[in-house]
Amino acid sequence: MPSTIQITRETKQLIGTFGTKEDSYEAIIKRMYKLAQKEQLREFLLSSENAIPIDEAIARARKKWQK
C-alpha cells in the first residue's frame, strides 16, 4: 500500500539527482538504501575497532595452544 512522506523541495531535488527521467522516486530511494546497506557492511568489515595486529593474534594463539 503506497504512503506519502513529507520532504522539502530541496530534498526532493537532491534525491532526483540520483536517478534519470525514467526512474521513479521509489526506485531511486530503494537504490540509495541498497548502497547505504553496502556502505554500512563495508564500514563494519573494515573497522579496526576491537581488532588486534596479526602478530599479537599469533602470539596469543601460540600461548593458548602450547604443546
Q: Say which residue the cell 599469533 belongs to.
A: 58
Least confident range of 9-13, 30-34, 58-62, 63-67: 63-67
Can you read off the three cell numbers belonging to residue 63?
Answer: 600461548
Mean pLDDT taken over the chain: 93
With bands split at pLDDT 50, 70 and 90, how would you rate the model's confidence at 22?
A: very high
With bands split at pLDDT 50, 70 and 90, how would you rate the model's confidence at 66?
A: confident
Q: Say which residue the cell 504512503 belongs to.
A: 3
Helical ranges in 1-67 per DSSP H = 9-16, 25-46, 54-64
> Tens digits of per-residue pLDDT, 47-60?
888 888 999 999 99
Q: Please answer whether residues 54 and 46 qualify as being in contact, where contact means their C-beta atoms are separated by less than 8 angstroms.
A: no
This model's pTM is above 0.75: no
Q: Say which residue the cell 564500514 belongs to.
A: 43
| Per-residue pLDDT, 57 | 92
Angle at 55 between CA 54 and CA 61, to 5 degrees: 85
